[in-house]
Structure 1
Amino acid sequence: MIDRQLIGRIVSRHQAEAERGRLRLFAKAIGETGDCWSEEERLRVPLTFLFCLDMERPDPYDWYAGAGLELPKVLHGEQSFTYIRPCFSGDVLSFETRIEDIYDKKEGKLEFLVKATRVTRVTGMSGLQGEHVADLRTVIVQRHG
C-alpha cells in the first residue's frame, strides 16, 4: 500500500543542465529537424524535454520503496505540464518533486500517486535566476491482485 502520510512531502530535489547537444538529439528523436536545431546559439527547451531532465539523477526511483511503490506493479497513468516561461540550452534547472495526492479505485485494486514537480531556473544566459519556469505533473498507478 502507498503511504498516504506522504501527501505534501518533498520526495526529491536535484539540478540538471539543458545541454545543447542533448537538446539536438532529443529534437531529432521527436522529429524536429528545422535549421534552428543545428544553427541557433540558444536552443529553446521543448516542453517534454523537462520530463527527461527530471529523470537525470543517479536513482530516479530511490523514493519508491519508502513510499510503498513496487516497480513491477507500477504503470504510467498520466503526464502533463504547465510551461510558465521558456528555458534554453545552457540553463541549469532545479527540480523539486512533491507528493500531491494519493487515492485508490476499484476497491483498492488500483492505487494512484500524483506527484508535482516545480522547475526553477538556477542559472542561465538570460541572467534571470530563481525564475519558476514550469510545473510537471505525473500520475503513477500501482496494481494489486
Structure 2
Amino acid sequence: MAIDPGIVGTEFPPTTLTLDAGRLRFFAKAIGEQNPIYTDADAAKAAGYADLPAPPTFLFSIELEDPDPFAFVAAAGIDMRFVLHGEQTFTYHSTAVAGDVLTARPRITDVYSKKGGALEFLVKETAVTRADGSPVADLRSVIVIRNPGAGK
C-alpha cells in the first residue's frame, strides 16, 4: 500500500510542555550524560545557563506527551507492524532550560519510496518554540515503512 502523497503538508495539533528540572535530570541520567550542567543547577548557572539546559535529544520527547504520539502514522494509513524509525535530526536555534514552556508543532513534509515501492518513507518536521514564539529547534524525523505487498 503506497502512502498517499496528499498527506504532505498535513499539520497536527501542537503539544506544549513545561520543562521540569527533575525530568531533565532524569533524562540526562537515562542517556548516560556525565556533564554536570545537565544535573546540577549550580554547574549549569556557572556555565552561563539560566537553569538546567535540556540535553540535546530531549526535545524529541515533547511530542510523546501527546495522548496519541503516533497519530501521524495512523493518519497515513500505515500498519505499525512494518514501521522503523529511520532517522532523527535536530537543528538548534537556542538552548531550552528548565522552566521554559515549549510547544512542538509537527507536520508531514514529504513521502517517497525506494526499491520499487518495497520501502516507503514518511518525513515529519517539527518546529519547537518557546511560549513567546522564539525558535528553539527544528526536528526532522524519517519513518521507514516496509511494504510487504510490493513486488508481488
Asked if these proteins are the same fold (TM beyond 0.5), I'd say yes
Could you tell me which residue of structure 1 aligns to residue 22 of structure 2?
A: 21
Query: Matches of 2:36 and 2:122 in 1, distance apart?
Result: 40
1:38 aligns with 2:47: no
1:78-137 deviation digits (Å, cap 9, x = unpaired) = 110101111101111010001110000011110000110000001xxxxxx210110000
Deviation at 1:64, TM superposition (A): 2.0
TM-score (normalised: structure 1): 0.89
Query: Matches of 2:80 and 2:13 in 1, distance apart?
Result: 17
Could you tell me which residue of structure 1 aligns to residue 7 of structure 2?
A: 6
On the 8 A contact 1:16/1:92 being kept in 2, the answer is: yes
- Across the aligned residues of Structure 1 and Structure 2, the Cα RMSD in angstroms comes to 1.4
On the 8 A contact 1:97/1:117 being kept in 2, the answer is: yes
- What is the SS of the residue equivalent to 2:65? coil
The counterpart of 2:120, out of the listed 85, 89, 111, is 111
Matched residue type, 2:25: R
Unpaired segments of 5 or more residues in structure 2? 46-50
- What is the SS of the residue equivalent to 2:53? coil
Query: Matches of 1:7 and 1:96 in 2, distance apart?
Result: 15
Matched residue type, 1:69: I
Matched residue type, 2:40: S
On the 8 A contact 2:85/2:142 being kept in 1, the answer is: yes
Query: Matches of 2:35 and 2:113 in 1, distance apart?
Result: 44
Matched residue type, 1:17: T
Structure whose residues are more often strand by fraction: 1
1:26-53 deviation digits (Å, cap 9, x = unpaired) = 1111222344313437101112000012
On the 8 A contact 2:15/2:62 being kept in 1, the answer is: no
Which contiguous aligned blocks of 4+ residues in structure 1 show a shift greater than 6 angstroms?
none
1:49 aligns with 2:58: yes
Matched residue count:
139
| Equivalent residues in 2 for 1:88-99, closer than 5 Å | 88-99=97-108
Deviation at 1:144, TM superposition (A): 1.1
1:136 aligns with 2:145: no
Pair 1:115–1:53, CA change in 2 (3 A): same
- What is the SS of the residue equivalent to 1:107? helix
Deviation at 1:62, TM superposition (A): 2.2
TM-score (normalised: structure 2): 0.85
Rg bigger for which structure? 2
Query: Matches of 1:9 and 1:27 in 2, distance apart?
Result: 33
